[in-house]
Amino acid sequence: MSDPGAGAVVIGLGNPLMGDDGLGLAALERLGAEWIVPPTVELVDGGTWGLNLLHRIEAAGQVLFLDAVHAGREPGALVELDRHEVPRMLGLKLSPHQIDLREVLALAELRGTLPPTLACLGLQPASVELRTGLSPAARMGASRTVPARARLCMS
């Protein structure tokens, strides 16, 4: 089981080559540049790491994910998921390269190491397609809404 007294980790997720899918990384960058982050909080560029994130998640007392979240809302709308709402599942995979965050969280849960405090802050993406740069709605949220809410979650 994770140590609830262990530090916090904020993990930015996504692929910056897929438009708004990169907004978790943009929000993480903004958070690190514009906020004073306590030494007990680690900022991690999780990109598309998959299974490589397992040890970081298991070692933390608190985990906050920053990501694009499809929730059927208006582009740029804030989406907040608590521990029980963050999806986790195991599925049949042909290769270990196919493992995504849902499987990583399911593995941590099966191992009894899923941190007691787990949340996801995200924005509804406007478009996830092969291109660089965020849409105006995602750019605004990544620079204002998500870092401010992340800061509150780390307090």
Q: Which of 46, 33, 26 is nearest to 125 (CA)?
A: 26
Classify residue 130 by its DSSP letter: S
Is 0.85 surpassed by the pTM of this model?
Answer: yes
Q: Which residues of 105-131 are buried (b: 16+ CB within 10 A; e: fewer)?
A: bbbbeeeebbbeebbbbbbbbbebeee
Determine the number of helices (DSSP H) and then strands (DSSP E) in the chain: 5, 5
Q: Please give the CATH architecture assigned to the domain spanning 8-154.
A: 3-Layer(aba) Sandwich (3.40)
- Give me the residue spans of the domains in the chain: 8-154
Q: Per residue, what are the HEC states of 93-120?
A: CCCHHHCCHHHHHHHHHHCCCCCCEEEE
Neighbours of 9 (CB within 10 A): 22
Tokens found for residue 115: 């941190």
The CA distance from 132 to 108, in Å, is 32
Question: Could you read off the pLDDT tens digit of each residue along the chain, which spans 155 residues?
Answer: 556 668 999 999 999 999 999 999 999 998 898 888 899 999 999 987 888 899 999 999 999 999 999 999 999 999 999 999 998 887 765 555 567 889 999 999 999 999 999 999 899 999 999 999 999 998 888 777 666 666 666 65
Distances (CA, A) of 92 to 54, 95, 96, 103: 18, 9, 10, 10
